[in-house]
Structure 1
Amino acid sequence: MENPTKLEQQLCFEVYKASSNFSKMYARALEPFNLTFSQYLVLLVLWDEHELLSKDIGERLGLGTGTLNPIIKRMIDNGHLSKKQSEKDKRAFVISLTEKAKNDQSSIEQAVFEKVESCNFMGVNAITLMENLKELNAAFKTMNL
C-alpha cells in the first residue's frame, strides 16, 4: 500500500460505499411495497421467527431501541406489524407479522432477488465476499466496539 492515508486506499471507505449502494439498490426494490431497507431487515428477522420481543429484534439487527422503535411504529402504521404487551414481562412488547406482511413475503423476496440479480456483480464471488465480511464483523465483535 503506497499511501495509507489516501481515501482510495481505505477499506472502510469501500465498505461504506458498498453499504450505501446496497441500501439504494434495496430501496428501489422495496419502494413498491412502501418499505425502507431497515424495515425490510425487520421483516427478514420476523419471517424467520414470526414473533419476537422488540429487544430481540434489536439484538439480531444490532439496533438500539431509539433506532428500532420508530421503524416498528411506522411498520405498525403501514399494516406490516402488530405489537402487544408480553405476558411474561409487562415492560416488554411482542412484535408480530400481520397477514399483509405474510402474504407479501414472496412478492417482496422476488422483487429483491430480481434487483440483486440484475446487478450481476461482474464476477464478484458473493459467497466468498459474505464469508469475508462475516469474519470481519466477528473480529469487530470480539473487540467490543
Structure 2
Amino acid sequence: MATKNDNPLHQVPRLDGQLCFALYSTSLAMNKLYRKLLRKLGITYSQYLVLMVLWEEDQQTVSALGDKLYLDSATLTPLLKRMEQAELLTRTRSASDERQVIVALTEQGSKLREEAAKLPEQILGATTCSLDQVVGIKKQLDALRDNLMKNA
C-alpha cells in the first residue's frame, strides 16, 4: 500500500528533481554561450534581445518593447539608455503623446543585424539537437511560460 511518503510531491525537494533548477541552469548555459558569441559583436544578451525586437519592427514604444521582452520599464530604461550611449538606438518623445518614448535603431544598430543572423545556426550546432527537436522544445517552453504567467 502506497504511503504519503512514497509520493515524490511529499518528499523533501531535491535539486536535481526540480523543474525550476533545470530551467535556471539551462538558461545559465545558454546565456554563457550567447555571451561568448555576442562579445564579438560588442553587445550583451539583453541588448541583443532589444535589437531583435527592433529588427523585426523598428520604432516602437518603450512599453511595447517591455511587453515583448517581459521587462518592466525600471529594468528596460537603463538598458535602453546604455544602448543609446553606444549609438545602437535613439529614444525620442512621441509628438502625439509626450508620455511615450519611441525607440528606433541607428545605422550602427541596423548593421549588427547582418552579423547577428549567423548566431541561430551556431546556437543550433551547440545544442546538438535537430531543428525539429529545438522547435519542439521551444513550443513546450512557450506554453509553460504562458501557463506560469497566468498564475504569477
Task: Provide TM-score, normalisation by structure 1.
Answer: 0.90
Structure 1: any 5+ residue segments left out of the alignment? none
Distance (whole Å) between structure 1 residues aligned to residue 86 and residue 125 of structure 2: 28
Q: Contact (CA 8 Å) 1:4, 1:10: kept in 2 or not?
A: no
Q: Tell me the SS of whatever aligns to 1:125.
A: helix
**Largest Rg, 1 or 2:** 2
Distance (whole Å) between structure 1 residues aligned to residue 138 and residue 125 of structure 2: 19
Distance (whole Å) between structure 2 residues aligned to residue 109 and residue 122 of structure 1: 19
For residue 44 of structure 2, the aligned residue among 36, 42, 53 is 36
Give the percent of matched residue pairs that are identical in Structure 1 and Structure 2. Answer: 28
| AA at the equivalent of 1:117 | L
Alignment of 1:1-145 (within 5 A): 3=11, 5-110=13-118, 112-122=119-129, 125-143=133-151, 145=152
Q: Contact (CA 8 Å) 2:41, 2:115: kept in 1 or not?
A: no
Distance (whole Å) between structure 2 residues aligned to residue 117 and residue 63 of structure 1: 26
Task: Provide TM-score, normalisation by structure 2.
Answer: 0.87
| AA at the equivalent of 1:50 | D
| AA at the equivalent of 1:30 | L
Structure 2: any 5+ residue segments left out of the alignment? 1-6
Distance (whole Å) between structure 2 residues aligned to residue 113 and residue 62 of structure 1: 21
CA RMSD between the two structures:
1.7
Higher-RCO chain (CA-CA 8 Å, sequence separation at least 6)? 1
